[in-house]
Amino acid sequence: MNKKEQIREEVRPGLIIEYLQNNQPTLAWVMEAQSSRVRALNINQREVKLAVSRILPWVGPYYPQGLSREEIIGLLKEHNRRRLEEQEELKVLEVWEMSQGEIDQARISWFSGLVWNEPGYDQTAALGRTMLQDRAHFKFSPPFFEVYPEDVVETRLEQERIAREKEKLVSIGRDLFKSLWESGTKNTPAPRIEDQEIADKLKNLIITRIKNPDDSETQDVWSKVTTGLPQDQNLAFILGKNWGIFSPHHNFLLDQADYVWNDSWTDEHVDELRRIIEKFDQETREPEIRGLISIDSETTRDIDDAFIVETRDQGFSLTLSLACPAMVWEPGSELDRAVAHRATSLYLPEGTSNMLPRLMAEDLFSLLEKKPRPAMVLRLEIDENSLVRHMDVGKNWVMVDSNLTYELVEKQLQDGRSEALELAYRLAKQLREKRVADNAVIIEQNDPEIKLEQNSDVRVYIEDKPACRRAQLIVSEFMILANSALAQWARDRGIPLYYRTQDIALPKDYCGVWSRPEDIYQVIRSLGATLTETSPKPHRSIGVPCYAPVTSPLRRYTDLINELQLLGFVEKKEPPLNKEKMEEMLPGFNARIALVSQVQRFRPRYWKLLYLKQNCKNRTWRGIVVDNSGPFVVLSLPEELMMVRADHELFGGKTRLGQAFRLRLGKVDPLNNEVSVLEAWEE
Cis peptide before 189 (omega within 30 of 0): no
- % of residues, the chain, pLDDT over 90: 87
Q: Which domains does the chain have, with CATH numbers?
A: 3-146 (no CATH), 152-246 (no CATH), 263-604 (no CATH), 616-682 (2.40.50.140)
Distance between CA atoms of 593 and 333, rounded to whole angstroms? 19
Q: Is 88 left (phi over 0), alpha (psi -120 to 50) or beta?
A: alpha
Q: Pick from 308, 333, 302: which is nearest to 321 by CA?
A: 308
Cα gap 163→100, rounded to integer Å? 25
Confidence of residue 194 (pLDDT cuts 50, 70, 90): confident
Q: Are 557 and 339 in contact (CB under 8 A)?
A: yes
H/E element, 392: strand 388-405
pLDDT at 569 over 90: yes
The predicted-structure confidence for 653-668, as pLDDT tens digits, reads as follows 889 999 999 999 999 9
What per-residue confidence (pLDDT) applies to 189? 75
* pLDDT value for 5: 40
CA geometry: angle at 293 spanning 289 and 298, to 5°? 145
pLDDT of 614 reads 96
Helix/strand/coil for 496: coil
Reported as a single tens digit per residue, the pLDDT across 222-251 is 999 999 999 888 999 999 999 999 999 999
Query: Cα angle at 644 between 640 and 645, to 5 degrees?
Result: 165
> How far are the Cα atoms of 129, 302, 576 from residue 335, in angstroms, in the given order?
60, 19, 16
**201 pLDDT exceeds 90?**
yes
pLDDT at 168 over 80: yes
Check if the beta carbon of residue 468 is closer than 8 Å to that of residue 298: no
Kindly report the pTM of this predicted structure. Answer: 0.81
Report residue 195's pLDDT band, with 50, 70 and 90 as the boundaries: confident
From 28, 102, 20, 124, select the one nearest 69 (Cα to Cα): 28
Q: Per DSSP, what are the bridge partners of residue 616?
A: none
Distance CA 678, CA 550 (A): 47
H or E element in which residue 235 lies: helix 235-243
Rounded mean pLDDT, 198-216: 94
Please compute Rg for the chain using Cα positions: 38
Whether residue 583 has pLDDT greater than 60: yes
Q: Above 90 in pLDDT, residue 186?
A: no
Nearest Cα neighbor of 561 from 538, 592, 602 is 592
Residues in CB range of 348: below 8 A, 6 or more apart: 251, 599, 600, 603, 604
| For range 40-65, the mean pLDDT | 94
Poorest-pLDDT segment among 3-17, 178-192, 358-372, 666-680:
3-17
Residues 6+ apart with CB under 8 A from 320: 305, 306, 307, 377, 378, 380, 478, 482, 551
**3-class secondary structure, 8:** helix
Query: Does residue 61 have a cis peptide bond before it, meaning omega lies within 30 degrees of 0?
Result: yes
**Per-position b or e across 506-533, b if 16+ CB within 10 A of its CB:** beeebbeebebbbbbbbbeeeeeebeeb
- Number of neighbours of residue 395 by Cβ within 10 angstroms: 18
Rounded to whole angstroms, how far apart are CA atoms 674 and 486? 43
Q: What is the pLDDT of residue 6?
A: 44
